[in-house]
A and B are shown apart, each in its own frame.
Chain A
Amino acid sequence: MGLSPATTTSQVSYDPPSQDGWVTTRLEFLVNWGRANSLWPMPFGTACCAIEFMATAASRFDLARFGMERMSYSPRQADVLICAGRVPYKLAPVIRRIYEQMPQPKWVISMGACASTGGMFDNYAVVQGIDTIIPVDVYVPGCPPRPEALIHGILMLQDKVKQQRSLSNDAQYAELVIDPTSRHYIPASRIDELSEPFGNSVHQTRSAP
């Protein structure tokens, strides 16, 4: 019948002699393979790291080789938030909201020393690492990182995506709901009001299921 014996590895198996064109794999592997190779980045460039990010996306280093074919300038269509550059406190609620507007599953790359730790800007105006605002998956060190370093970070993120148990563990994709008693809590109605200008033709809002 052309089906090869059940495999326990994450390999696509193919049985050439039968020539029936059957391919078997695990659904989880296939989903992760698809996700890992079509990560659309949401660039959040605030400083010199963004210049390196642009170089990474341009033809010499060509981010499109890794499936990042399209820069998604809307968080609605983005998978991975790449924060390139220092984030001042004034931008803290902005990056928080952009992260919240991204649909699950979503990942974050913190590019460079400033985004990861505040870098040399240990002063009153700069957030000391974006992981105090949003969860970060991959930190790329450097000041700024070379394009190779960012690509290495992206490959690490792809490895992480490929190893996720996407179908058996829904909890990891559950939206992080902030405790309503926290001072960081923003009610859904307020978020809808604020995100109104960013809705599309079907009135997509942050709090809609």
Chain B
Amino acid sequence: MSVVLPGAALPKNTPDPVTPRTVPHRGGDVNPSVEALRAQFGATIGRHDVTWGETTVWIDATKVREIALWLRDDPTQQYDYLVDVTAVEHRDAAMPLEMVWHVRSLPYRRFLRIKAALDPNAELEVPSIEPVYKSANWLEREVYDMFGVRFGGHSDLRRILLWESYAEGFPLRKDFPLRGRFSRSEQLTQALAANPEAPYSMEELSVADAFHELPADMRERLLRVKAGG
């Protein structure tokens, strides 16, 4: 493990950053990574804009893993920190559903917002960037839980906030009614029938380390819990 100091890759005489007094709503300095992305990936990279000093670049959703890998590993980029993965669905039905990735380069003190448009009426599927950023694991699970976006290549794609047997759909989609699809009594019945320990995988349970030393009946029970019993 090496410690990455912020701004370590910048020239030696670069002054320390100061909080800007005025930031324009639209326009301003474009993150130089956008031009570098265009040079590297060509037509895969779409338009970009700058909002409140932050650069957003649109990409082709199917290429996100290659782009993330290049942004992370290229010595002129070094985006070593995945801040967030989320999605936006707009009330306007003509607007696409947007996948959003926030990445930050600590050595270069850069922030980049990457967006990709998905058709909200089709099957939502994008490649997972978990092989690139381990922290994408839970973030992508949350997006799957709330929006139903399937991440191809994710190692453990299942619900994270709602329980696994939740059957009403994906709550942050615009076609999801605020109070859910089922009646209150049906919701309560299903919730009470859920096993509170089922959402935890064996790896998440502390006893997993000593699993093979446990008594046979407890081993059998844990396997049953893991299977959702």
Tell me the chain B residues, 175-229 only, with Cβ under 8 Å from chain A.
176-180, 184, 187-189, 191-197, 221
Report yes or no: B171 in contact with A93, Cβ–Cβ below 8 A. no
In the complex, A78 Cα to B220 Cα: how many Å? 32
Report the interface size for chain B: residues with CB under 8 A from the other chain: 22
Report yes or no: A123 in contact with B179, Cβ–Cβ below 8 A. yes
Interface size class, chain A:
10 to 19
- For B163, B180, B192, the residue with the greatest tally of chain A CB atoms inside 10 Å of its CB is B192
Shortest CB–CB separation between residue B197 and chain A, in angstroms? 7
Report yes or no: A92 in contact with B191, Cβ–Cβ below 8 A. yes
Report yes or no: A132 in contact with B188, Cβ–Cβ below 8 A. yes
Contact for B192 among A125, A184, A194, CB less than 8 A: A184
Q: Main SS of chain B's interface residues?
A: loop
Report yes or no: A89 in contact with B187, Cβ–Cβ below 8 A. yes
Contact for B194 among A93, A127, A194, CB less than 8 A: A93
Report yes or no: B192 in contact with A124, Cβ–Cβ below 8 A. no
Using a CB–CB cutoff of 8 Å, the interface residues on chain B facing chain A are 161-163, 168, 171, 176-180, 184, 187-189, 191-197, 221
CB-defined A-B contacts under 8 Å, sample of 23:
A89-B187, A89-B191, A90-B161, A90-B162, A90-B163, A90-B194, A90-B196, A92-B188, A93-B191, A93-B192, A93-B193, A96-B192, A122-B178, A124-B168, A124-B171, A124-B176, A124-B179, A125-B162, A132-B188, A133-B188, A183-B189, A183-B193, A184-B192
